[in-house]
Homo-oligomer: A and B are copies of this chain.
Amino acid sequence: MTQPFVHPYIPNSDPAVRAEMLAAVGASSVEEFYADVPPELRVQGSLDLPPALVAEQDLERHLTSLLDRNRSTRERLSFLGAGTYNHHVPAVVDEVISRSEFLTAYAGEPYEDHGRFQALFEYESLMAELLNMDVVTVPTYDGFQASGTALSMAHRITGRGRVLVASDVTPDQLSKVTDYVRTSLELVPVATVDGTADVAAVRAALDDDVAAVWVQTPSFTGALEPALPALADAAHAAGALLVVTTDPIMLGAVAAPADAGADIVCGDIQSLGVHQWFGGGHGGFLAVHDDPRLVMELPSRLFGLASTDVPGEYGFGDVAYERTSFALREEGKEWVGTAAALWGIAAAVYLSLMGPRGMAELGETVLARTAYAAARLGRLPGVAVTDTAVHFRELLLDVAGTGRTAAELRDAARARDIEPGVVVGEHRLLVCVTEVTAQDDIDRLVTTLAEILQESAA
Contact = CB atoms under 8 A, between A and B. Distances in A.
A56 interface: yes
A365 to B, nearest CB: 10
A64 interface: yes
A168 to B, nearest CB: 30
Contact of A436 (B57, B64, B436): B57
A271 to B, nearest CB: 14
A91 B57 contact: no
Interface string A407-439: 000000000000000000000000000011000
B435 A90 contact: no
Given A64-B74, A95-B100, A90 B436 contact: no
B56 A91 contact: yes
Interface string A39-78: 0000000000000000011001100100000000010000
Nearest to A358: B8
A182 interface: no
A176 interface: no
Given A64-B74, A74-B64, A435 B57 contact: yes
A64 B74 CA distance: 9
Contacts of A95: 100
A329 interface: no
A88 interface: yes
A235 to B, nearest CB: 39
A91 B60 CA distance: 10
Interface in A360-388: none
Interface string A65-107: 0000000001000000000000010110001000010000000
A295 B100 CA distance: 39
Interface in A188-217: none
Q: How large is the interface on A (under 10, 10 to 19, 20 to 34, 35 or more residues)?
A: 10 to 19
B90 A56 contact: yes
Interface of A: 8, 56-57, 60-61, 64, 74, 88, 90-91, 95, 100, 353, 435-436
B88 A57 contact: yes
Contacts of A8: 353
A374 B436 CA distance: 51
Contacts of A56: 88, 90-91
Contacts of A60: 91
Nearest to A88: B57
11 contacts: A8-B353, A56-B88, A56-B90, A56-B91, A57-B88, A57-B435, A57-B436, A60-B91, A61-B436, A64-B74, A95-B100
Contacts of A57: 88, 435-436
A433 to B, nearest CB: 14
Nearest to A361: B55
A438 to B, nearest CB: 8
A354 to B, nearest CB: 10
A71 to B, nearest CB: 12
Contacts of A435: 57
Contacts of A100: 95
A100 B98 CA distance: 11
A72 B255 CA distance: 48
A105 to B, nearest CB: 16
A212 to B, nearest CB: 38
A108 to B, nearest CB: 20
A88 B8 CA distance: 16
Contacts of A88: 56-57
A190 B57 CA distance: 40
A430 to B, nearest CB: 23
Contacts of A353: 8
Nearest to A436: B57
A281 B61 CA distance: 22
A95 B56 CA distance: 15
A91 to B, nearest CB: 7
